Amino acid sequence: MSDAYSIRPAVQADGSFLGDMVVEAANWRSGGARARHEILTSVEHRRYLAGWMRPADAGFIAVDSGGQPIGAAWYRMLAQDDPGFGFAGTAVPELIIGVQPIWRAHGVGRTLLRRLLVHAGEQGHARISLSVERDNFARSLYRSEGFLVTDSGPARDTMVHRVS
Ligand SMILES: CC(C)(COP(=O)(O)OP(=O)(O)OC[C@H]1O[C@@H](n2cnc3c(N)ncnc32)[C@H](O)[C@@H]1OP(=O)(O)O)[C@@H](O)C(=O)NCCC(=O)NCCS
């Protein structure tokens, strides 16, 4: 971590910022091609945020020196009949991560990821999953932090991290 940012636990009031980060993740390739409203109301993305913050939800927010959010990583448990892109089982939370464009490649994403994985262990989770498109560089970030590919679709991989 640097002096320029710090990490704090996510709270219910962070829901809107988490929405920004879902939009960043959905638009990673196109740089904002899909409108926020369209993404956040879509069946495949709204499940990552709906009703935030539920009892089993957990996350961390990176904030700049003025306290403004610059990135977030969080997980939530999704139901088998409403699975996310990276569903790996009913007891396996799925992770979502995003960093504001001007803050990328400064170590914020890796710091958030590590903090969330420690927290997952403290919460007693055995595994954490995620989904990543195969040509997103984030795949190598996840691999370098111990995520392994457990399932592959035509364009995306499910990756799982064994916490304990
Ligand atoms: C993916 C993301 C969360 C990573 O956060 P970040 O703060 O940019 O990542 P970090 O600075 O911690 O970098 C992690 C590694 O990725 C590498 N990296 C960062 N940006 C990169 C880029 N544009 N291309 C290739 N590698 C890159 C870094 O070199 C670093 O590796 P290193 O530690 O060996 O140098 C962030 O870039 C992001 O929000 N991207 C858009 C949304 C997205 O794709 N989300 C994930 C969907 S699965």
Q: Is the CB of 112 under 6 A from ligand 1?
A: no
- The full set of domain ranges for the chain reads 5-162
pLDDT in tens, 82-128: 889 999 998 999 999 999 999 999 999 999 999 999 999 999 999 99
Q: How far is Cα 92 from Cα 125, in angstroms, rounded to an integer?
A: 7
Mean pLDDT, range 134-156, rounded to an integer:
96
Cα of 81 from ligand 1 centre, angstroms: 31
55-120-60 Cα angle (round to 5):
70
Indicate whether residue 36 lines ligand 1 (CB < 6 A): no
Q: Tell me what the mean pLDDT of segment 75-81 comes to.
A: 93
Q: How far apart are CA 137 and CA 59, in angstroms?
A: 22
pLDDT of residue 82: 87
At 106, the amino acid letter reads: H
In CATH terms, 5-162 corresponds, of 3.40.1390.20, 3.40.630.30, 3.40.50.620, 3.20.20.70, to 3.40.630.30
The alpha carbon of 14 and the centre of ligand 1 are apart by a number of angstroms equal to 22
Compute the distance between CA of residue 102 and CA of residue 159 in angstroms, rounded to an integer: 26
pLDDT of residue 58: 98
Average pLDDT of the residues in 38-47: 94
Which tokens sit at 95? 């992770």
Q: What is the mean pLDDT of the chain?
A: 95
How many angstroms from the chain centroid is the CA of residue 77? 12
* Bridging pattern class, strands 156-162 and 148-152: antiparallel
Mean pLDDT is lowest, of 1-5, 140-144, 158-162, for: 1-5
Q: Does ligand 1 lie within 6 Å of residue 25's CB atom? A: yes
108/114 Cα distance (integer angstroms): 10
Atom number of ligand 1 nearest to Cα 140: 16
pLDDT level of residue 1 (50, 70, 90 thresholds) = low
Binned at pLDDT 50, 70 and 90, residue 30 comes out as confident
Element containing residue 132 per DSSP (H, E): strand 127-133
Beta carbon of 21 within 6 Å of any ligand 1 atom = no
Average pLDDT over residues 2-14: 93
Which residue's alpha carbon is at the smallest distance from atom 42 of ligand 1? 25
Determine the pLDDT at residue 3.
Answer: 75
Report CA(142)–ligand 1 centroid distance (Å): 9
CA of 38 to the centre of ligand 1 (A): 25
| 2 — pLDDT class (breaks 50, 70, 90) | low
